[in-house]
């Protein structure tokens, strides 16, 4: 399966679920479920982890200048699971969309 965008990720899946781990991590970042969904549906794929059947999505947090990273697992044919969420920080991320010296490019 080739996932080019959020629509591809969710196509043919019956369920979108937020894991308990993602909810705990969101709480640590003062994020609510609506922040996660907003970022997911308004974001773009930042990285693919094909071996784990996961993708990293960077999306905006409504009414702020921040982005949240949402890791989604698509290994189950029937559901997509939001595995974890976090606000990117230094030194691992130079900014919301750039890891180290590698600039983000939207995959289309």
β-pairing verdict for 44-49 and 54-60: antiparallel
pLDDT tens string 77-100: 999 999 999 988 754 555 555 555
Q: Is residue 20 part of a domain?
A: yes
- Non-local CB neighbours of 102 within 8 Å, separated by 6+ positions: none
Q: Is residue 56 part of a domain?
A: yes
Q: Is residue 29 part of a domain?
A: yes
Q: Is residue 62 part of a domain?
A: yes
Q: Is residue 104 part of a domain?
A: no
| Domain CATH for 94 | 3.10.450
Q: What is the four-CA torsion angle of 99, 16, 28, 93, rounded to 10 degrees?
A: 0
Given this model, what pLDDT does residue 12 score?
86
β-pairing verdict for 44-49 and 15-18: unpaired
Tell me which of 90 and 2 has the higher pLDDT: 2
Measured distance CA(75)–CA(55) in Å, rounded: 11
Q: Is residue 76 part of a domain?
A: yes
Regarding pTM above 0.85, the answer is no
Q: How many domains does the chain have?
A: 1
pLDDT tens string 30-83: 999 999 999 999 999 999 999 999 999 999 999 888 889 999 999 999 999 999
What is the domain range of residue 44? 6-99
Measured distance CA(59)–CA(43) in Å, rounded: 4
């Amino acid at each position: 399966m080739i996932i080019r965008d959020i629509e591809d990720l969710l196509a043919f899946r019956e369920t979108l679920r937020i894991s308990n781990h993602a909810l705990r991590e969101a709480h640590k970042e003062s994020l609510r479920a609506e922040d996660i969904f907003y970022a997911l549906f308004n974001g773009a794929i930042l990285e693919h982890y094909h071996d784990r059947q996961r993708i990293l999505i960077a999306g905006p947090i409504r009414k702020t200048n921040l982005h949240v990273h949402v890791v989604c697992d698509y290994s189950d044919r029937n559901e997509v699971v939001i595995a974890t969420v976090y606000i990117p920080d230094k030194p691992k991320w130079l900014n919301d969309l750039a890891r180290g010296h590698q600039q983000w490019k939207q995959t289309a």
